[in-house]
Structure 1
Amino acid sequence: MKLSRNLFSALGRIAPNRTFFSVIMGGVAGCCYALLIPLVLASFSDDPLSQNQSEAETLRFLGFEVVHYRMALVFLIACLLIIFTKALSQVLLIRVSIELASDTRTKIFKRIISAPIDQLEKMGSAKLIATLTSDVPRIVIGAGLLPELLISSVSLLGVLSFLLYLNPPVFSLVLGAIAAGAVSYQIPMFFALKYYTRSRQATDDLHEAIRGLILGAKELKLSEKKQEDFLSKIAGTAEQKILKHDKRANTFIRTTAIYGEMINFFIIGIIVFVFVNYRTISKSELAGITMALLYITGPIATLLNLMPQYLNARISLNKLNHILNELCNERSATGKHAAGFFDSVKLSDIYYQYPTEKFQAGARIGPINLILTRGQITYIVGGNGSGKSTLAKLLTLHYKPTKGTIAFNDTAVNLENISSYRNAIYSIYSDYHIFDKLLNLPELKKDSTFNAHVESLKLNSLIDMMGDNFSSQNLSDGQRRRMALLCALMEDKDFFMFDEWAADQDPAFKRIFYEQLLPALRKRKKLVVVITHDDRYFSFADQIVTMEDGELKSIYHQTQTSILDNHPAAR
Structure 2
Amino acid sequence: MSILSTFSRKAPNRVFVSVILGALAGVCYSALIPLVLSSISPADPNFAAQNDNIESVLSFDVMNYKLAALYLVACLAILLMRSASEIILVRVASEVARELRVKFYRQIANAPLASIEKIGSAKFIAAINIDVPRIVTGGRALPVLLVNGITLIGMLGFLLYLNADVFKLVMVAIFVGAVCYQLPMMLGSRIFQRSREAEDKLQESIKGLLFGVKELKLDSNKRGMYFKKALLGREEAILGHEKKAQTIVRATMSFGDLISFFVIGGVGFIFVNYYAITPEELIGVVMALLYVTAPIALLLGAIPAIAVASISYRKLNRLIEEIPHEDINPGLVELNDWQSLTFNQVEFRYPSDTEEPGFHIGPLDFEINKGEITFIVGGNGSGKSTLSKLLTLHYMPQAGNISFGENEVNAASVTSHRQNIGAIYTDYFLFDELLMDFTGEVTAKANEYLRMLHLDKKVKIENGAFTTLSLSDGQRKRLALLVALLEEKQFYLFDEWAADQDPEFKEIFYNKILPDMRAQGKAIVVISHDDRYFPIADKILVMEQGRLVKTPSQVQLPEQETAIA
Q: TM-score, normalised by structure 2?
A: 0.95
Q: Work out whether 1:252 is the aligned partner of 2:224.
A: no
Describe the SS at the equivalent of 1:348: strand
Structure 1 residue 470 displacement after superposition: 0.8
Asked if 1:452 corresponds to 2:448, the answer is yes
Confirm or deny: 8 A CA contact 1:122 1:358 kept in the other structure.
Answer: no
Task: Give the aligned partner of residue 86 of structure 2.
Answer: 90
Which deviates more from structure 2 when the two are superposed, residues 280-289 or residues 170-179? 170-179
Q: Return the alpha-carbon distance in structure 2 between the equivalents of residues 172 and 106 of structure 1.
A: 50
Alignment partner of 1:470 is 2:466: yes
Name the residue aligned to 1:128.
124
Q: In the TM superposition, what is the alpha-carbon distance from 1:52 to its structure 2 partner?
A: 4.5
Separation of aligned partners in 2, 1:61 and 1:563:
107
Query: Is structure 2 residue 551 aligned with structure 1 residue 530?
Result: no
**Which residues of 2 match residues 509-520 of structure 1 at below 5 A?**
509-520=505-516
**Following the alignment from structure 1 to structure 2, what is the Cα–Cα distance between the partners of residues 267 and 445?**
81
The secondary structure found in structure 1 opposite 2:550 is strand
CA contact (8 A) 1:543 1:555 kept: no
**More deviation, 103-112/270-279:** 270-279
2:69 aligns with 73
Structure 2 residues not aligned, in runs of 5+: none
CA distance in 1, matches of 2:150, 2:289: 15
Aligned to 2:147: 151
Structure 1 window deviating more from structure 2 (253-262 vs 332-341): it is 332-341
CA distance in 1, matches of 2:141, 2:560: 76
Deviation string 1:218-244 (CA, Å, 9 cap, x unpaired) is: 222222212211111110121011011
Q: Deviations over 1:484-517 (max 9, x none)?
A: 1111111001110100001011112111111121
In the alignment, what sits opposite 2:299? 303
8 A contact 1:542–1:558 mirrored in 2: no
The equivalent of 1:393 in structure 2 is 389
Cα deviation digits, residues 462-495 of structure 1 (max 9, x gap)? 2232201113432111111111111111100111
Whether 1:198 and 2:194 are equivalent positions in the alignment is yes
TM-score by length of 1: 0.94
Alpha-carbon spacing, 1:398–1:486, altered in 2? closer, same or farther (3 Å): same
Unaligned runs of 5+ residues in structure 1 are none
2:395 counterpart SS class: coil
Partner of residue 340 from structure 1, selected from 336, 341, 355: 336
Aligned pair partner of 1:508 in 499, 504, 508: 504
How big is the shift at 1:526? 1.1
Q: Deviations over 1:315-373 (max 9, x none)?
A: 11111111111111114222242333222222222221112139963322122222222
Deviations 1:10-40 (A, max 9, x none): 2222222222222222112111111111111
Q: Does 1:261 align with 2:257?
A: yes
In the alignment, residue 542 of structure 1 is paired with which amino acid? D
Distance (Å, rounded) in 1 between the aligned partners of 2:237 and 2:322: 24
Alignment of structure 1 residues 266-281 onto 2, 5 Å: 266-281=262-277
Residue type of the alignment partner of 1:303: L
Q: Which amino acid aligns with 2:521?
A: K
Q: Equivalent residue of 1:434, what SS?
A: coil
Cross-structure match for 1:51: 46
Partner deviation per Cα, 1:192-240 (whole Å, 9 max, x = no partner): 1101111111111111111111111122222221221111111012101
Percent identical residues:
44
Give the aligned residue type for 2:315.
K
In structure 2, the residue matched to 1:19 is 15
Task: State how far apart, in whole Å, the 2-side matches of 1:247 and 1:50 are.
Answer: 56
Choose which of 390, 405, 415 in structure 1 pairs with 2:411: 415
Secondary structure of the corresponding residue to residue 258 of structure 2: helix
What is residue 232 of structure 1 aligned with on the other side? 228
Q: Which amino acid aligns with 1:174?
A: V
- Alignment partners' CA distance in 2, 1:309 and 1:45: 41
| Separation in 2, partners of 1:15, 1:558 | 69
Distance across 2 between alignment mates of 1:441 and 1:500: 29
Specify the SS of the correspondent of 1:400.
coil
Query: What is the CA-CA distance between 1:562 and the residue it aligns to?
Result: 7.5
Deviations, residues 29-70 of structure 1 (Å, cap 9, x unaligned): 1111111111111113256x6535448611111111111111
| DSSP 3-state at the match of 1:345 | strand
**Which whole-Å CA distance do the structure 1 matches of 2:335 and 2:81 have between them?**
57
Aligned residue type for 1:470:
F
Report the Cα distance in structure 2 between the residues aligned to 1:112 and 1:557, rounded to whole angstroms.
45
| Post-superposition CA distance 1:116-167 (Å, at most 9, x none) | 1111111111111111111111112111111112111111111111111122
- Say if 2:174 is the partner of 1:175: no
CA root-mean-square deviation: 2.2
Inter-CA distance 558–497: structure 2 relative to 1 (3 Å threshold): farther
Q: Give the partner amino acid of 2:501.
A: Q
Is 2:10–2:96's contact at 8 Å kept on the other side of the alignment? yes
Q: In 1, are the aligned partners of 2:351 and 2:358 still within 8 Å (CA)?
A: no
- Cα distance, 1:536–1:394 mapped onto 2, change above 3 Å: same
The yes-or-no answer on 1:349 pairing with 2:345 is yes
SS in 2 for 1:492: coil
